[in-house]
Amino acid sequence: MKRSVALAAALLVGLTGAGTLPGAAFADGGGPAGNHDERGGGGNHQDSEGAVFVQTNKAEGNTIKVYDRDEDGRLSKAGEYETGGLGGFTIGAPLDALASQGSLVYHKGLLFAVNAGSNTVTVFRVDGTRLHKLQVIWSGGLLPVSIAARGDLVYVLNAGGEGSVQGFELHKGRLSRVEDANRSLGLHNGNPPAFGTAPAQVKIDPDSEFVLVSTKGANVMFSYEIGRDGELARNPVVSDAGNTPFGFTFDTEDSLLVTESGANAVSRFELDDDGTLDQVGPSVPNGQQAPCWIQRVGDYFFVANAGSSTISSYRVDDDGKLQLVKEVAADTGGGSIDMTTSDGFLYVQNATAGNVQGYEVHDDGSLSLVTTVEGLPKFADGIGMEGIAAS
């Protein structure tokens, strides 16, 4: 099951870090200068309970659409904001252009968005349903597709070329690159990479000891130990992670659930003290096609099955056994991709339908549709919206 650190070292021999961004003019803070124009909408509603943010990933100019969320989970339009960067794509994507989870992340009153087509990350300050652009910064590599944030550390996964992880320190709403925190994944991809070989997600474990990366084509996950100042270990621990590992999330401080999009299943792993992943019990199939994204809501874990346009539900019982609760907890009918949660509601991006659906999550894990917002970019010609987050 395990692969050694030596294997990881071998993968990295002879490879250099991510390249520079040619021809870019760097603004204050180290990122390429961006357009700071904003298009605001309805502002804060008196009955507002929060906001849901959706990344359009448009090639001609990436934007974030903002929706006000009321106490019943219903969404209403509240504005659209330019990121100052461009959307992007992976080659051969069936309906999820970035082939990733976590391309839009809300953290500590800030919103982080990848601009895959221009190799940058945008930082917004969130004020209710209004966004204020603070920074556009180089991602440290090619085609950024996923972001992880915990405490004052932020890591960006770049999918293009050999793939890389770049670490940043967060201070007063701005990112600065951490010295000795750019690591190559050694994937030998082109730019843009093929959908099936692009890395899918980066995440920090709950104890902030490791940065984890899932790689679909290699069927492994990388674990980089985090140093005192956010630097990353030179060589990761590399562990087998099933058939085409894609999205993952933690269920406890030292265990995580991983979607296996190639096996149409979900697996549970324990994260050891040295960064190795050990599988706990067998993989649990859900009878659906292409389960890729996973989102925890309370005691339940919801999986978006892109190929079936459905949502499945799982839970971990008191003995630590992973169980399939419902093969089809919801039929979205529109190419389900990334998801987010807020106050007991689950929000799902549907790429081919060009909408976002919101579901109330009941105590037994069942879902009730409470809202649908239309008019988002539908997946077409290899590109479409991807990325969703909530405050």
* Cα 335 from chain centroid (whole Å): 17
Taking residues 333-362, what's their average pLDDT? 98
| CA atoms of 186 and 16, how far apart (whole Å) | 9
- Please provide the CATH number assigned to the domain covering 5-390: 2.130.10.10
Task: Tell me what pLDDT residue 308 has.
Answer: 98
Burial of 318 (0-12, 13-18, 19+ CB in 10 A): exposed
Q: Indicate the range of 8-12, 149-153, 257-261, 331-335 predicted with least confidence.
A: 8-12
Task: Tell me what pLDDT residue 166 has.
Answer: 98
Any idea what DSSP says for residue 197? G
Q: Is 193's pLDDT higher than 50?
A: yes
Task: Tell me what pLDDT residue 40 has.
Answer: 41
| CA atoms of 318 and 368, how far apart (whole Å) | 26
Task: Tell me what pLDDT residue 300 has.
Answer: 98
How many other C-beta atoms lie within 10 A of the C-beta of residue 219? 15
45: confidence class by pLDDT, cuts 50, 70, 90: very low
Give this prediction's pTM.
Answer: 0.89
Task: Tell me what pLDDT residue 49 has.
Answer: 85
Domain range annotation of the chain: 5-390
Q: Is 175's pLDDT higher than 90?
A: yes
Q: Is 2's pLDDT higher than 60?
A: no
Task: Tell me what pLDDT residue 272 has.
Answer: 98
| CA atoms of 209 and 71, how far apart (whole Å) | 36
| CA atoms of 260 and 285, how far apart (whole Å) | 9
Q: How far is CA 276 from CA 1, 29, 165, 214, 333, in A?
A: 10, 35, 18, 13, 38
47: confidence class by pLDDT, cuts 50, 70, 90: low
Task: Tell me what pLDDT residue 30 has.
Answer: 37
Task: Tell me what pLDDT residue 15 has.
Answer: 31
Task: Tell me what pLDDT residue 1 has.
Answer: 40
Taking residues 9-14, what's their average pLDDT? 34
Strand partners, 367: 361
| CA atoms of 200 and 161, how far apart (whole Å) | 14
Task: Tell me what pLDDT residue 43 has.
Answer: 41
37: confidence class by pLDDT, cuts 50, 70, 90: very low
Percent of the chain with pLDDT over 90: 87
Taking residues 279-298, what's their average pLDDT? 98
Taking residues 4-19, what's their average pLDDT? 34
